[in-house]
Structure 1
Amino acid sequence: MAEDKMQTDEAPAPAKDATKPEEKPKTVGESLKAVIAVLESATKLKDTRVLSGRVMRLTAAFRKQLTGEALKAFITGSLSADLESKPFLLGHVDKASAGEDVPMQAEDSPAQPAYTESSTPEVELFAFMLVATYLVDKKAYQQLTDVTTRATERLSTFNRRTLDVIAARIYSYHSWGYESQGKLQDIRSTLLALHRTASLRHDSFGQETLLNLLLRNYLHYGLYDQAEKFRSKAVKEEGVWRSHQQYVRYLYYVGRMRAIQLEYSEARDCLQQASRKAPTSALGFRVAADKWLILVRLLLGEVPERVEFAAPGLARALRPYFELTSAVRSGDLVAFGQVEARHSAVFAGDATRNLVTRLHHNVLRTGLRRLSTAYSRISLADVAAKLHLPSAEDAECIVAKAIRDGGIDAVIDREAGAMVSREQQDVYSSAEPAEAFHARVAFCLDLHNEAVKAMRFEPDAHKGRALESAEARAERLAAEAELAQAMEEEGDDY
């Protein structure tokens, strides 16, 4: 009996997951079929939240695996034969996929799924969007403009809110195609007409996207005054943005405009929000925002910490701006000139050369502040020598301006030709600590107000909540969780 018991105890327990088959990853065709099912369901329910969240998220998931063969199978099976866009799209996919490596099909590999033909505008325009995405990845920009132009013409014949999200993405690709070919000015009148139409139709997604596309168009050519005039007339009311991505882009463009207009405090606030609200995966956008933010902070007299230049994925791109910050912090005019000359091409490509030129005065002011702290009395000739200025007269003018602006606490002894520094006061006896505390409290209050404004509620959510059944509550919580996940994963196209 003891032996039987020992054998029983030592017998291995059956594995629970031994018989469970491993789930195979979905093919592109299966993913496309699932997206179409969600798209048609959301269209019937007129649920724009699902279209802007789940449909776009599922599409981004298989974007890298999208091939010409899978795209042609989808267009052939999903679009109705009487649609003129069907042969048009197939022709562009054939042309773009020419020479594409077709993987060998294994014997047990699943075939393309059987699609159901549909003549709904949402499926047709979704096919246009997929082809445009494929052409962007292939860098076939001339074909991209042809496809998006045809899609824009097709969209003008509909006024359906279920098409707004797809239309906004097509407009983005339309502008991208022209920008990649260096013809961005050719599309400006078209974008203005589309924005006017979107405003008349109360197309929120289209308004937000087209507003940012037009701001980008103006800023690309340095038309800051025109951009501000358009923004002041076309801007949406604060707190009603439907797309988090577009709102972050809008903050970035407004920050750039404010920086050029010398409104540095507002520019810093906008650029800080844009950098913080951008998803961590949007490295390109964060780099662009941080470059402008660094220069604006330097112009305000602030010096960014070294750790801000060492963020993962940003250190290499921000290297020229780190060297520039080091030169400004040291107040060395020669080092500043060397950095400016060495990285002039980078600053020109980033459209920040104007701000870099303005930093020349900040370098002088920093150098003067260091001298006024180190010396209680120093001749203007020595000031000119240490700051590499042409003469003592130039040094006197710069010192006088710094005293008038409050940059240094000193006086000029004209008879002796010297700068006399006053005794440093205790900073805690001044209003500076109170001002710093006030700025932090104001930031926390603004953050709270923005969080409240960003909350989304269903229409008439306050009605009937007390009589909500358990099943309805479970569905509502699931929808809210899905929306939260969608917002968290936004930013694939930054």
Structure 2
Amino acid sequence: MTSVEEPAITEIKEKSVLQQLESFLPLITNSVAKFDPRYVLRVFRQHAAIRREIKADDLLDLINKTYPTTFPTVENLVGALTPFSKKISKTDTDVDMDSDDHTVTEVSPEIDVFVHLMVQIYLYDIGEIKALYAFNKNVIELLKKYNRRTLDYIQAKAWYYIFRSSEIAKDLINIRADLMNALRTATLSHDTETRASVITLLLRNYILTNDINQAYNLVEKIEFPFEATTSIVARYHYYLAKIQTIQLDYSSANECIITAIRKCPQTKNAKGFLQSATKLQILIQLLTGEIPELSQFDDPILFKSLRPYAEVTKAVRLGDLKIFNNALKTYGDHLKNDKNYNLVLRLRENVIKTGIRIISLSYKRISLKDICIKLHLDNELTAEYIVAKAIKDGVVDISINHTKGYIESLDVSDVYTTKAPQAEFDRRIKFCMQLNNDSVKAMRYPMTTGREKFDDDNEARQREQELLQFLQEEDF
């Protein structure tokens, strides 16, 4: 089996980068002719394998063999790549455009945008953000010029690199207008892929600038196309979980972040997204009062990046404010880089509540002064306020003696004397009734099934009614 496949593999490896780039163009042409995006997706998969090997000279040669000399976008493409070419310096208009075999007369919009995308990716990979930022202005005008459904997947990626260059250049405000125009155009033309990509980019823009209300309004007013690529859907759920966490909607945020992790691509390139999503999931679980599974922190892919969150989890689990403060002091910069520092600060109250619950289970009676010492609080008044808040939230079942300055655990009463069993029984009945209703709905057949027989029955009933009416009129 291996001996049969080896020649094909070696043949692919023997192809030069330019030849592989040229092989992408017929696939894009087939995608346009057959209106099938699978050819474009195949191009993206093959491009990922040679992405790091592409040089400026390869792209210049591709432009030379693909574009006619008088094509309007040639000057912008060559001008963006010439400073990084290792060939003998030439003017922008003299880059091998006088070859004898240059017989190209026209370029399709799909190939034109694809070559621009290749230049974007190359400039981004070599770290030339300023050149990419300047080049993207031409790309924006080019995308406004073309409006074809066969460009959906290509221009969706182009918009990503347009936004990425603006993000690194810290120009997040000015790019919003172009993103809004792109979203409006994609929505009107039913461009699913571009619409989904631009929505996620706008959400990221609002989150980075701390415009959470704007992001929430966008989510409320738009309808996200979930039939888009899985990676974009995963990114949308991640940003949605981030917004809901900031707005204290932890239950909805937990559902969204779980969906984002499940839809995360199982590739090495998605490692960073998986780490960010797991970090947010851990914080959401801690904020809801749950303790994450310790097996998450032992994952070799996530072990190093989750070390600060393991310390925070340990502090919440033990209810030790000293460990929590040390974790903030040691890993504060790391948490700020992850944009999760403010969410971690919310856990301080959870740490204190856990400590109070542990103390209430360990002591029948304890003074507020001893609570201050154990929880490292400032004074007894702060301890009294925190204990009262814990009693109100139902965390502990204790009473406070304000005059003598101590707390006392109440006797554990019989649970069957309370309304808890009734509430639990009612919850289970509602679940069973809902399950029964869903099952009945699932067994109903659609109205389109057997439509012809149904129509025949209606005609037979009409003839029967007419016969009965005739018999009644004739007094038979």
Query: Which of 223, 226, 233 is matched with 1:247 structurally?
Result: 233
1:60-79 superposed matches below 5 A: 60-79=48-67
**CA pair 433-274 structure 1, distance change in 2 beyond 3 A:** farther
Aligned position for 1:84: 72
Q: Is the 8 A contact 1:303 1:325 kept in 2?
A: yes
1:452-463 superposed matches below 5 A: none
Aligned position for 1:33: 22
Using the TM superposition, give the Cα deviation of residue 151 of structure 1 relative to its aligned residue in structure 2, in angstroms: 1.7
**CA pair 204-97 structure 1, distance change in 2 beyond 3 A:** same
Per the normalisation by structure 2, the TM-score is 0.79
1:74-153 superposed matches below 5 A: 74-98=62-86, 117=104, 118-153=106-141
Q: Is the 8 A contact 2:319 2:354 kept in 1?
A: yes
Query: Which of 31, 34, 40 is matched with 1:42 structurally?
Result: 31
Distance 1:433 1:92 in 2: 68
> Would you say 1:347 and 2:335 are equivalent positions?
yes
**CA pair 37-115 structure 1, distance change in 2 beyond 3 A:** farther
Secondary structure at the aligned position of 1:419 is classed as strand
Q: Is the 8 A contact 2:68 2:102 kept in 1?
A: no
Q: Is the 8 A contact 1:267 1:296 kept in 2?
A: yes
1:237-316 superposed matches below 5 A: 240-280=226-266, 281=268, 282-316=270-304
Q: Structure 1: any 5+ residue segments left out of the alignment? A: 1-15, 101-113, 446-494
Distance 2:365 2:27 in 1: 76
Aligned position for 1:482: none
Larger radius of gyration: 2
Q: Structure 2: any 5+ residue segments left out of the alignment? A: 89-100, 436-476
Distance 2:177 2:192 in 1: 20
Query: Which of 205, 212, 215 is matched with 2:203 structurally?
Result: 215
Aligned alpha-carbon RMSD (Å)? 3.0
Distance 2:346 2:245 in 1: 11
Using the TM superposition, give the Cα deviation of residue 356 of structure 1 relative to its aligned residue in structure 2, in angstroms: 1.4
Secondary structure at the aligned position of 2:352 is classed as helix
Q: Is the 8 A contact 2:282 2:309 kept in 1?
A: yes
Query: Which of 417, 429, 443 is matched with 2:405 structurally?
Result: 417
Query: Which of 348, 354, 358 is matched with 1:366 structurally?
Result: 354
Identity within the alignment, %:
34
**CA pair 401-279 structure 1, distance change in 2 beyond 3 A:** same
Using the TM superposition, give the Cα deviation of residue 81 of structure 1 relative to its aligned residue in structure 2, in angstroms: 2.6
Query: Which of 306, 325, 330 is matched with 1:337 structurally?
Result: 325
Per the normalisation by structure 1, the TM-score is 0.76
Using the TM superposition, give the Cα deviation of residue 391 of structure 1 relative to its aligned residue in structure 2, in angstroms: 2.7
Aligned position for 1:382: 370
Worse-superposed segment, 306-315 or 408-417: 408-417
Deviations 1:401-421 (A, max 9, x none): 111111112222445433222
Deviations 1:402-458 (A, max 9, x none): 1111111222244543322245579999669979x98xx99xx9xxxxxxxxxxxxx
Distance 1:285 1:116 in 2: 45
Q: Is the 8 A contact 1:331 1:366 kept in 2?
A: yes
Query: Which of 316, 322, 346 is matched with 1:328 structurally?
Result: 316
Using the TM superposition, give the Cα deviation of residue 69 of structure 1 relative to its aligned residue in structure 2, in angstroms: 2.1
Secondary structure at the aligned position of 1:23 is classed as helix
Secondary structure at the aligned position of 1:420 is classed as strand
Could you say which structure has the higher helix fraction? 2
Higher relative contact order (CA 8 A, sep 6+): 1
Deviations 1:205-232 (A, max 9, x none): 1111111111111110111011111221
> Would you say 1:23 and 2:1 are equivalent positions?
no
- Number of residues paired by the alignment? 410
Deviations 1:237-256 (A, max 9, x none): 5xx33211111111011101
Deviations 1:276-314 (A, max 9, x none): 221232111111112222111111111112221121222
Using the TM superposition, give the Cα deviation of residue 97 of structure 1 relative to its aligned residue in structure 2, in angstroms: 3.5
Query: Which of 180, 183, 206 is matched with 2:171 structurally?
Result: 183
**CA pair 378-432 structure 1, distance change in 2 beyond 3 A:** farther
Distance 2:117 2:376 in 1: 58
Q: Is the 8 A contact 1:333 1:388 kept in 2?
A: yes
